[in-house]
Amino acid sequence: MSIDALCFLGVSRFGYRLGADDARRALDAEGITTAVVAPMHTADRDMAKANAELARVVAGSGGRFAGIARVDPWDGEAALTELTRAVTEDGALAVLLHPDEEHFQINDIRLRPIAERAGELGVPVIVATGYHCVSEAVQVGRFASWCPGVPVIMTNGGQLNISGLGQFDAELALALPNVYILTSGVYRDDFLERAVKTFGAERLLFASAAPQFEFGYELRRVRQVHITEDERKLLLSGNARRLFGLEEAA
């Protein structure tokens, strides 16, 4: 069994899209049991509306999708209100912050209340990571230090260009025990293998990050890395079940 720890549903104002039916067909084709789904950055920039629409899709998915909320820190107190509503009313299992698409720095002190609210609600924070000057791994590490009891999950292995100092910065962030990485987009198998060896398989989660990346290719990435089968099971499903509170399929 496999759980995709992050993909996006809807239509993005930046030109990419993925509908629920297409996502479900892709999951079936790759044998992925469940996908953790987040809303796109929509043209109207209404995060509350996007979260509510996603929640309706999740509710009608028969368990194929598990929803997370997306908030924009520029909305101030309204972002905290929406995060609380999405978790307590819609059952959102995490919150996504996307510094590149919403144009903020993840280590801006004004984001600390979001970190703290996630802690109060008991949900992880997923951070779109690797974007120059707004969400580099060391910046995400600063954010994670504000909420040591909250899992902070970096996309893209913590760095879009996972080479040289990019790897070093990602490993600096992983030195914090509440920081995790998604495998999507990491073209360096040796980086994933070293992260498992250095920090433990419990700190990595398989994700496609579709539609910007491709379901099958990202799944094969995890299936081919040189780790033990027990470690691979954690990456493919065990860690997602634990962090998002997902039940194991029968």
**Span 77-130, pLDDT tens digits:** 999 999 999 999 999 999 999 999 999 999 999 999 999 999 999 999 999 999
Could you tell me if residue 250 is inside a domain?
A: no
Please state, rounded to an integer, the average pLDDT across all residues of the chain. Answer: 96
For range 180-202, the mean pLDDT: 95
212 pLDDT exceeds 60?
A: yes
Query: What is the domain range of residue 50?
Result: 3-244
Q: Is the pLDDT of residue 249 over 60?
A: no
Q: Please check the confidence at residue 133 and state whether its pLDDT lies above 80.
A: yes
At 205, is the secondary structure helix, strand, or coil? strand
CATH number at residue 169: 3.20.20.140
Average pLDDT on 7-30 reads: 97
Count of domains forming the chain = 1
Tens digits of residue pLDDT in 31-84: 999 999 999 999 999 999 999 999 999 999 999 999 999 999 999 999 999 999
Give the C-alpha separation, 54 to 89, whole Å.
13
Q: Measuring CA to CA, which residue among 123, 111, 116 is closest to residue 75?
A: 111
Which pLDDT band holds residue 250 (cuts at 50, 70, 90)? very low
Please report how many Cα atoms fall inside a 13 Å half-sphere around the Cα of residue 80, on the Cβ side. Answer: 12
Which value, in Å, is the radius of gyration of the alpha carbons in the chain? 16
Residue 71: closest CA among 46, 89, 43? 46
Q: What pLDDT score was predicted for residue 180?
A: 98
Q: Does 77 map to a domain?
A: yes
Residue 46 domain-assigned (yes or no) = yes
3-state secondary structure of 126: strand
The residues, ordered by sequence, that sit 6+ positions from 183 with a Cβ below 8 Å of its Cβ are: 157, 192, 204, 205, 206, 207, 218, 221, 222, 235
User: Does a structural domain hold residue 249?
Assistant: no
Q: Which tens digits make up the pLDDT trace of 172-184? A: 999 999 999 999 9
Q: What is the mean pLDDT of residues 227-248?
A: 96
Regarding pTM above 0.85, the answer is yes
Other CB atoms within a 10 A radius of the CB of residue 21 amount to 8
